[in-house]
Chains A and B, each alone.
Chain A
Amino acid sequence: MAKAKAAEPTPSIVRPYGDATGDGMVQVSFTLPIPHHKKAEGAALQLANKMGLDPALVVHAKPMGPDFTFFVVYGRAHHLVELDKVQIVGREFALLSPKEVATAVKKALRRPLVVISACIGTDAHTVGIDAILNIKGWAGEKGLEAYAELEVHNLGAQVSVPDLVASAHRLKADAVLVSQVVTQRDSHIHNVTSMSAAFREAYPAGQAPVLVVGGPRFDEAGAAALGVDRVFVKGTTPGEVASYLVHRLCPPQPSKSTGRKKTAPKSKARGPRR
């Protein structure tokens, strides 16, 4: 992960950067439930200090009604970022172009790969799944519906789990994409775990379609706990999802051993726990 920044190797310890290396400068804003007067600014400073900002400077304090004050604070963070201890869910698959996806699917399956998708539960917010699926796609990248060898059935919003399972059967889905955008009291977790349980129940072991969930509130490393194969979070592109599906369902060299599903992604997803 050498950033093309300098010739020397990236240091393993960094600090926030304001306008000079190592100055540790950060900016935070917050509200305190106290009226705005001098003491309020002192209170804000105290909080900043306790957050590890020292020195800290309250650059803005604004009353919001009689009982609240809003602050903007700049300060020097003393915490160090230890890069070698940062853990992320890496991309366990190669990013393919739409053309490469088509070729891989054709080679491995000799038929279109069937994808169904839905927003489940009461969630009616289809922005996420639309961005991944719609031909229009997102940020200039076309959605899965535009992929030649993917057969996409978007079931829309507020689909019940039984309907989703029934559709997966009927359409012989290879993969099921589920989106959860708006959530409260962890309903996205409950919805998805009940969905994955329903699929486990409805299909013989190992034959359920690949289950993929996406949404801004999910933990990318939490696939196993949810009972799904992969979690995608904010910023995912259609290409990433398509590439993942190929990686899971269309192993290379179909002529050799007829592709058993790889288990690598799961162990990888669990990786950060160690």
Chain B
Amino acid sequence: MSRRRTKLELDPVTVRKARSLAKRAGRPIVKLATTHTTVSVERAVLRLAGLQGADPDGEPWVNHLVDAVRRDVGIENGVAIPVWNALLSGNHVDLTALAQKAATGSVTFELPKAREHTRARTAARKAATAGLRRIDQNRRERDRLIRRLGDPPKPWIYLIVATGDIYEDMPQAQAAAREGADIVAVIRSTGQSLLDFVPEGPTREGYAGTYATQENFRLMRGALDEVSAELGRYVRLTNYASGLCMPEIATLAGLERLDMMLNDSMYGILFRDINPIRTFVDQRFSRQIHARAGIIINTGEDNYLTTADGIEAAHTVTVSQLLNEFFGKEAGLTDSQLGLGHAFEINPTVPESFRMELAHALLARELFPNAPLKWMPPTKHMTGDVFGGYLLNGFFNLVGSMTEQDILLVGMLTEAVHTPWLSDRDLALLNVRYVFNATRGLSEDFLPAHDGFVVERGRQVLGEAVELLEAICDDGLLNAIGDGTFGLMKRPADAGRGLEGVAKHAADYYNPASDLMAEGFAGKGK
């Protein structure tokens, strides 16, 4: 699908060099990710095997079970063998019953040898296969619905819903779809990323967002299926696979047919102070699940520019995109699943800011021609001047149109004032429609001058990205993160939240889900 001529005249040698540097910088991290596990990865395996529910205090059974195994034998061998060994050798109806007993301390877990080991391994693999089969079925169901109902044209309009109450969210999401949203994102409650468990059941209380739970996922997907059928286009659902429970939430997303997940390689490290190793390990597993589930990931580069400067830090966005691409592909994602992020965040009072935005957006477009790029609206320079903000959003949309962005997060004129009102959203969509209608096909006519400002700027940013990648390769990515290279935040590898939940693999670590996913679609039914 080489639908685009190259407009920035990027030097193919430099582009190749950037990619190979990203690979070099990322490889040690992959090594780290493939030799460690975390409590959340282990809990995700149990969720994949169908373990749901929580005790009366709301602590999930997966947490009880993993904690119990960890107390007895640690997680460095993986929980699969000790759990299925206990399940097969004890008198337990199912995983839930086992977890309940484990929670009272009446089960002792051990690492079996020889025949028992093989038996546990086979059973664990079977249980994980069943979960993956359900994820595969969901993927096929999505494909079927898209074929039947139709896929909306690009850019996909991305709107956010966030009331805190899932039963309030559902009609709002349906209303947003009727107003024109192709993608509905349910923002999570503030602070969920720092919970080391996934809450259970439908939830009606949240802060500035709604908790991500399996039941909320199911309810919302159902509501959007309803409205998709009504509108004759498949409306996609987005949530957040980030924070301390990234692998579990990714798994739940696959089990409940979510379509897109926010999933950045470094966001949790930088903006939530989650331990880098924990993040990279969790991330790889979650991306394997996303790859399998046909979920498009959205990366979070836009966030760097909310803290760092839109011009000076432009190349850090490119570097992060390249790293996200490398990590994503390594975990099995295809180009069409890489919703790499970038944003319109240059100070509007800077002369030629628009040309620079154009250059940056075009650079992302040309570096990743087949990725569904996610274009994020201004936030940092939205001041409460709603009139000026409305104009700025218009220019944001214009860049989106001229550079053929795929996923357009709709900018609100009341950004930084309040969560969007009905009229804010309506005005925002009016803005989007006007710009995209009026400029339809403009990208065809827009060819920046040979060696002109836009072309030069694109080259310059790519050049700076290559330099930074070289420095990262020399220094190591973990050190670069520790030094505050991204978003100006310093995050050393031996600090941050969730480190205590990380363990290095023992020689015979076993994780049936990782194994099956590495084998690809071999496990698919029929």
Contacts and interface: CB of A to CB of B under 8 A. Distances in A.
B272 A158 contact: yes
B467 interface: no
Contacts of B380: 127
Contact of B271 (A157, A184, A187, A234): A157
Contacts of A136: 308-309, 488
Contacts of A65: 175, 178-179
Interface in A81-131: 121-124, 126-127, 130
A34 interface: no
A64 B422 contact: yes
A70 interface: yes
Interface residues of A, number: 27
Interface in B169-184: 175, 178-179
A181 B167 CA distance: 26
Contacts of B193: 124
A184 B423 contact: no
A134 B307 contact: yes
A156 B489 contact: yes
Contacts of B178: 65
A184 B210 CA distance: 12
The SS class assigned to the A binding surface is loop
Contact of B307 (A29, A68, A127, A183): A127
A253 interface: no
Given A31-B421, A124-B272, A158-B272, A182 B307 contact: no
Contacts of B191: 121-122, 124, 158
A124 B489 CA distance: 13
B426 interface: yes
B122 interface: no
Contacts of B271: 124, 126, 157
B416 A29 contact: no
A186 to B, nearest CB: 11
Contacts of B426: 62, 64, 70
Contacts of B207: 122, 184-185, 187
A58 to B, nearest CB: 15
Contacts of B190: 122-124, 182, 184
A216 interface: yes
Given A31-B422, A156-B273, A234 B384 contact: yes
B306 interface: yes
Nearest to B347: A139
Interface in B409-428: 416, 421-423, 426-427
B432 to A, nearest CB: 15
B302 to A, nearest CB: 13
Nearest to A217: B418
Interface string A203-214: 000000000000
Interface string B149-164: 0000000000000001
Interface in B189-207: 190-191, 193-194, 207
Nearest to B427: A70
Contact of B306 (A64, A70, A127, A182): A127
A216 B383 CA distance: 11
A184 B489 contact: no
Contacts of B422: 31, 64, 68
A130 B307 contact: yes
A182 B208 contact: yes
A31 B273 contact: no
Contacts of A182: 190, 208
Interface in A1-38: 29-31
Nearest to A155: B273
B272 to A, nearest CB: 7
B489 A134 contact: no
Interface in A173-214: 182-185, 187
A121 B421 CA distance: 26
Contacts of B488: 130, 134, 136
A30 B423 CA distance: 8
A90 B308 CA distance: 32
Contact of A184 (B164, B179, B307, B416): B164
Contacts of B306: 127
Contacts of A134: 307, 488
Given A65-B178, A134-B307, A234-B384, A184 B208 contact: yes
28 contacts: A30-B423, A31-B422, A31-B423, A62-B426, A64-B422, A64-B426, A68-B422, A70-B423, A122-B190, A123-B190, A127-B306, A127-B307, A127-B380, A130-B307, A130-B488, A136-B308, A136-B309, A136-B488, A156-B273, A157-B271, A157-B273, A158-B191, A182-B190, A184-B164, A184-B190, A184-B208, A185-B207, A187-B207
Given A124-B191, A136-B488, A184-B164, 18 more contacts: A30-B423, A31-B422, A64-B422, A64-B423, A64-B426, A65-B178, A122-B190, A122-B194, A124-B271, A124-B272, A127-B380, A134-B488, A157-B271, A157-B273, A158-B273, A183-B208, A185-B207, A187-B207
The 10 closest A-B pairs by CB, nearest first: A122-B191, A122-B190, A64-B426, A70-B423, A31-B423, A184-B207, A184-B208, A182-B208, A130-B307, A31-B422
Interface of A: 29-31, 62, 64-65, 68, 70, 121-124, 126-127, 130, 134, 136, 156-158, 182-185, 187, 216, 234
